[in-house]
Amino acid sequence: MNTNVWNGGGRRLYLHEVGMRDGLQAECTFVPTEEKIRLVDSLSHAGLAKIEVTAFVSPKAIPALADAQAVMRGIERVPGVVYSALVPNVKGAERAIECGVEELNLVMSASETHNLANLRMTREQSFNALRDVARLAREAQTGVNISLSCSFGCPMEGDVASATVLAWCARFVDGLGATGITLCDTTGMAYPTQVNALTQAFRQRWPDTTLTLHFHNTRGMGLANVLAAIDAGAERFDASLGGIGGCPYAPGATGNVCTEEIVHALELMGYDTGVSLPRLVGASRRLPDLIGHDTPSQIVKAGQRLDLHPLPRDFEAIRERAHARAAAPLAL
């Protein structure tokens, strides 16, 4: 891919908001259903390409998302936005399809240990379960995306070989006919050179499959990884409002790359994200009250690059003194 990552040149990139799922699943506070709906509606009007609205998982495993059906039924469907939801099994798929989810995001891990810890199945068992879910989705004419957790490393096993990651992608794309794959850096282990190489390898092998990258900012490499993926031709990224999030089954996990930080940086570089930053930031500012703590968002804390600060109150006096000193003859 012949891109110059430093010059966006108006190139369109697509941001997928995952804060309502990846973000809220890790929160102790239950965000009331009507507030979740309001947030999703705000995000729809902010111009996100896709919104992962919730997860149809066991409410015992993830109580924060126990209201998945009510949220899915309550949101406004803005044309042009794809409304997806995470689904781990057939039961979840049935619940999701029943309330009109447009795309099922099926999840399994490239790491055997993480898959067992997160989904209580071996990878082989997960694959078989997801094959059944994919069949169900096809019958219901619902889209399917596969999110492959720990594609850049497992917090319990260490490195996951890219050959292993690509072999699982092959089973989903070539075997099951999946049209979308998300390579997930579940615990912020990805680094730019690794991201660049894996993105290139994927795109060379499956140029027609929709590829999304999902980074967590656990070690501060989130934006660098996004740029490394763009350099290799990627154009779709998961991100979470306020930078909230983290897998409850991955030790030390923290939030996704923050949507407003990524949009802010990419727009400055000349990319077209289609997202209205003021609307996004407006929604993000509502989060602390809902989840009971501050978010990692640097844009909420510091403002945008050209949000200027007022002059110090005694600025005129400072200026006059400085000018007077400059005009005075040097005392030798």
- Check residue 224 for interaction with ligand COA (CB under 6 A): no
Does the protein bind ligand COA through residue 271 (CB under 6 A)?
no
Name the minimum Å distance from CB 245 to Zn ion. Answer: 6
Q: Does 22 bind Zn ion (CB under 5 A)?
A: yes
**CB closer to ligand COA, 65 vs 229:** 65
Residue 185 within binding range of Zn ion, rule CB under 5 A: no
DSSP codes of every residue in 76-89? ---TT-EEEEEE-S
CB of 137 to Zn ion, least distance (A): 21
Q: Where are the beta strands (DSSP E) in the chain?
A: 14-17, 50-55, 82-87, 103-109, 143-149, 180-185, 210-215, 236-239
Please report whether residue 61 would count as binding ligand COA according to CB under 6 A: yes
Question: Mask 72-91, x = binds ligand COA (CB under 6 A)?
Answer: ----------------xx-x
Residues near 225 by beta carbon (within 8 Å), at least 6 away in sequence = 185, 190, 191, 192, 195, 213, 215, 257
Q: Given candidates 19, 23, 92, 242, which one binds ligand COA under the rule CB under 6 A?
A: 92
Q: How far apart are CA 269 and CA 117, in angstroms?
A: 40
Report the C-alpha gap between 323 and 262 in whole angstroms: 42
Q: How far apart are CA 222 and CA 217, in angstroms?
A: 5
Question: To the nearest whole angstrom, how small is the minimum distance from the Cβ of residue 296 to Zn ion?
Answer: 14
Q: What is the DSSP letter of 64?
A: G
Compute the distance between CA of residue 3 and CA of residue 186 in angstroms, rounded to an integer.
Answer: 27
Q: Please check whether residue 65 is in contact with residue 103, taking contact to mean a CB–CB distance below 8 angstroms.
A: no
Among residues 43, 62, 190, 241, which is the contact residue for ligand COA, using CB under 6 A? 62
Nearest-10 crossing angle of helices 277-291, 259-268: 160
- Is residue 69 involved in binding ligand COA (CB under 6 A)? no
Which one of 150, 154, 184, 247 is the catalytic residue? 247
Closest Cα to residue 117, out of 86, 152, 156?
156
Beta strands in 3-99 (DSSP E): 14-17, 50-55, 82-87
Compute the radius of gyration of the chain from its Cα atoms: 22
Q: How far is the CB of 2 from Zn ion (least distance, A)?
A: 30
Report how many residues bind ligand COA under the rule CB under 6 A. Answer: 19
Site for ligand COA contains 116 (CB under 6 A): no
Residue 142 dihedral angles phi and psi, to the nearest 5°: -110, 140
Q: Which stretch binds ligand COA (CB under 6 A): 1-9, 42-50, 115-123, 219-227?
A: 115-123
> Which residue stretch of 5-13, 112-120, 162-170, 235-243 sits at the interface with ligand COA (rule: CB under 6 A)?
112-120
Does the annotation mark 258 as catalytic? no
List 105, 111, 118, 212, residue binding ligand COA (CB under 6 A): 118
205 binds, among ligand COA, Zn ion, none (CB under 5 to 8 A by kind): none
Query: Are the C-beta atoms of residues 306 and 264 closer than 8 Å to each other?
Result: no
- Which CB atom, from 106 or from 287, has the smaller least distance to ligand COA? 106
The CB-of-56 to ligand COA minimum distance in angstroms stands at 5
In the complex, what is the shortest distance from the CB of residue 239 to Zn ion, in angstroms, rounded to a whole number? 10
In this structure, the number of other CB atoms found within 10 A of the CB of residue 82 comes to 16
- Active-site annotation, residues: 247
Note the residues at the interface with ligand COA (CB under 6 A): 25, 55-58, 60-62, 88-89, 91-92, 95, 107, 118-120, 247, 249
Note the residues at the interface with Zn ion (CB under 5 A): 22
